[in-house]
Structure 1
Amino acid sequence: MKKEVDNMKPVVLMTDSRATISSEVEIVHLPLIGIRPLPVVRALAHHHYDWLLFTSKNAVELFFLHYPDVTFSNIASIGKKTSLALAVRNIKIDYEPPDYHQESFIECAADRFDRCTVLIPCSAKARPMLTDFLKRRAEVTRINLYEPVASVKNAKKMNELVVSGSIDVVVLMSPSAVNAYFTQYDVVHLPVLAVGPVTSQALSRFGQPHITANQSTKESILQKIIEMRDNHVI
């Protein structure tokens, strides 16, 4: 149902897998992507690596569930949710870039990975940029722990909410979420926010006008939405 009162909280559609709570906006949580775990690579049992590199919360959870015998000296992390998943396991992070994306990781890596063994447990759809960069200076093993699976049901529900005028802002949290929706439906004639530059690039490929958050965090996105509300953009 379309909102009837102009001064109500803006209704924000979040498309990632983790529910968000805010006192400033009303959030509709509709994940566009699930995951399908891939077979365990038994040959990795009892291996030791100088570095483990995680780029997603899902990778952290699946790795420590299925590869308890793999040992390591250092941990690198990209992304706030990734680092939080490690922190709740009391795992010390030895390196994380100042910004939450691969480009920042590469820019600030210096020589800390040179001539090291590096294991990258990740999504089968993870961008190859980081792996390619590290292979030029380290011995790298990449294992695909899972693959993203689009939710056709939730993409349809999102389209219904957009068409009905039930939401004010759409937030896309990953390139996979962008693909899950826009391979089926047309551009959205509402304010659309991207969590970071990679998601922004995916939206641009579909011709979707959008705004990119100042930082690749939900906090930054919500701050941007509140600014838009206060400036009567929404």
Structure 2
Amino acid sequence: MESEMPLLGKKILVTRGKKQATEFSSKIKYFGGIPIEVPLLTFQESKNAQKIKKEIEQIHAYDWLIFTSKNGVEFFFDFYEQYKSHSTDTLLPKIAVVGTQTEKTLVEKGYKPDLIPDEFVAEGLFESLKPYLKKESRIILARGNLSRPFLVDELSKLGHFVTDLIVYETVENQQEKDHLSTLLQKKDIDIITFTSPSTVTFFCRLLEDTDWGEWVKDCIFAAIGPITLRAAELANIHIQISPKKYTIDDLLDEIIHFLSEK
């Protein structure tokens, strides 16, 4: 990315969770944009602590531990620190992750992934993982309540023993409902960004029973990843900007390129 000011004062709606928005907003400012943070979702610990405790106590019995998001890593290790014993019984199995941010968060926890696919989606991990699995491998997937069950379903079909462990819940942030409506109604946003299917879903839910379709006619929509694009398509939202790589840096690159072409 060029170190000039290519965003030219554009107001960019950042819809990620509050903790995740900080880095994105900083990068937008660096390139001359104005980030407008409206966290449409928030994250909370899973209420099923007893199941999580049980699985952590027997984590050594698994062959693979899979993470598909940085939140999965963060919440899993919050529980892990609470429930692990000080014996070798809680040594972690091999770890597979989806995406560079997930990998970065894992490394910050003191662990390195044994497998990270080139394609940052569950399908890519599935194809990359298959050659490493023995017959009836034991796999545990630490994820959020709204993430897709693709890996659980497909790995189970191959005859593997898969534990689907929900370590966090994604819920819509009702506190931002009026703020979001006011911003869009005043046409005070130039670019709307979506970084997950959940941001699309909650955007639509929080704007139900409004004329938001009219309010955003002049907005540019940008999104990361094929699953987010699919969610937008189902919501009749036309995405004009979508990078081939599913990172915040690549999204900003594409936004800058789009604006320069215009």
> TM (normalized to structure 1)?
0.89
Distance 1:125 1:16 in 2: 15
Give SS of 1:166's match.
coil
Cα distance, 1:79–1:154 mapped onto 2, change above 3 Å: farther
Give SS of 1:130's match.
helix
Partner of 1:175: 197
Distance 2:98 2:205 in 1: 27
Does 2:244 correspond to 1:214? yes
Gap regions ≥5 residues in structure 1: 1-6
CA deviation map 1:22-79 (0-9, x unaligned): 2212222221110121231232242112111011112111111212424323110012
Q: 2:78 aligns with which of 65, 87, 105?
A: 65
Distance 2:165 2:140 in 1: 8
Distance 2:254 2:133 in 1: 36
Give SS of 2:131's match.
coil
Does 2:32 correspond to 1:29? no
CA deviation map 1:185-220 (0-9, x unaligned): 243321111111101100111111113222111111
Distance 2:105 2:56 in 1: 22
Cα distance, 1:213–1:155 mapped onto 2, change above 3 Å: farther
Alpha-carbon distance, 1:97 to partner: 1.1
| 8 A contact 1:195–1:216 mirrored in 2 | yes
| 8 A contact 2:103–2:112 mirrored in 1 | no
1:84 partner letter: K
Where does structure 1 differ by over 3 angstroms across 4 or more consecutive aligned residues?
none
* Correspondence 1:118-133 to 2 at 5 A: 118-133=139-154
| 8 A contact 2:14–2:37 mirrored in 1 | yes
Alpha-carbon distance, 1:154 to partner: 2.0
CA deviation map 1:118-170 (0-9, x unaligned): 11111112211111111124221111112111012224322322221222100
* % identity of equivalent residues: 25
Aligned-residue Cα RMSD (Å) equals 1.8
Tell me which protein shows more strand as a share of its residues: 1
Partner of 2:54: 43
Distance 1:45 1:191 in 2: 44
Distance 1:81 1:101 in 2: 13
Gap regions ≥5 residues in structure 2: 1-6, 85-89
